[in-house]
Amino acid sequence: MPPTDTPPAGAGPARPARRAAPAPAGVRPSPDPDPAPGAGPDAGQAVGPDAAPGRAAVLCGLGTWLPPRSVSNEELSQELDTSDEWIRSRTGIGRRHVADPATATSDLAVEAGRRALKSAGLEAVDAVVLATTTPDRPCPATAPLVAAQLGLGTVPAFDVGAVCTGFLYALAAGSGLIALGTARTVLVVGADKYSGILDPHDRSTRVIFGDGAGAVVLRAGDRTEPGALGAPLLGSDGTGADLVTVRSGGSREPVRADTAGAADPYFRMDGKTVFRRAVERMADTSVAAAGQAGWAAGDVDVLVAHQANLRILYAVADRMRLPRERCAVHLDRVGNTAAASIPLALADAVAAGRLRPGHRTVLTAFGGGLTWGACALRWPELAPA
């Protein structure tokens, strides 16, 4: 199918509603009265740009940051009962970056944000949204500190907590600020320092996660422009809250002097169950997001999925009947960087020449909560950071 600049469903004058075929179970219904083919009544809860017909959030800058230290599988095998072959065969990961103890999530976010602003050719934005599971402190939010360190003054700034889907939720929030007229430019950052919440003796998690940050700048624009975000499709299922969790440290299990010995402050995950659900949700929501943009799944040029596990990435592509070579793969060098994984993978694909202006692009993620989401855009031409 040749490239088209047809805007996502929901733009322009309303048309008579028609009966649509059912879409993926568990994905919330879109308010669009006439969804595009493939985006049925359960395609997702459309948020952000649909609030203002014709107006869209346009991606206009991209920046990333990784801590200097890179840890190989061989290095981990000296501390854990594992090997390079065991890790690669199960995850596809060969290395991951680890921040030093003195580096906080805000430090990672500031570096990525600074580069995204440079890419966008801006010195200031109207708002900052930070997706993270590892804030500098439980209170206050980390985003205001990031804004201050970037010299952005008193702009609105807040955190979003949707674990590995956090970046897509933050994109939705940033798009909504633009759609409502609250902001014309928004810095959206995904940053995590998982090395600070991993059990040092748990090979099932320690070999997977790495630290890093990625950021994009959104600006108000038109739905027909390259870089215009389609309405993000988001979903959640709180019945799976225990599948991906840090049990202690919140109001359910606070850490106090008298309970410290029984507390579990580390990240835990039921990998097998998460694997299956992640594949289903990311694939089905990606098909719906492509359909909302007027594309068939096979028209997608690049699928940029949360970099959780290579087998998950390929299983998502298989379920979508998309050639595996269209998947952006970055986790082999950085591991699972949680909320940072999508912007990091975007930057890597651009640098490698695999993601080029005009490419039909779908972003998708699955994370704790449980949460998931997807978003479609035609990739724009960006200045390097």
- The one catalytic residue in 306, 327, 330, 359 is 306
As a whole number of angstroms, the distance between CA 46 and CA 10 comes to 10
Q: Which residue carries 């008579």 as its tokens?
A: 16
- The one catalytic residue in 60, 164, 327, 375 is 164
As a whole number of angstroms, the distance between CA 63 and CA 72 comes to 24
Asked if 313 and 327 count as a contact pair (C-beta separation under 8 A), the reply is yes
As a whole number of angstroms, the distance between CA 42 and CA 285 comes to 10
Asked if 76 and 207 count as a contact pair (C-beta separation under 8 A), the reply is yes
Active site residue 336: yes
Q: Angle 310-320/84-91 helices, nearest 10 degrees?
A: 20
Residues known to be catalytic: 164, 306, 336
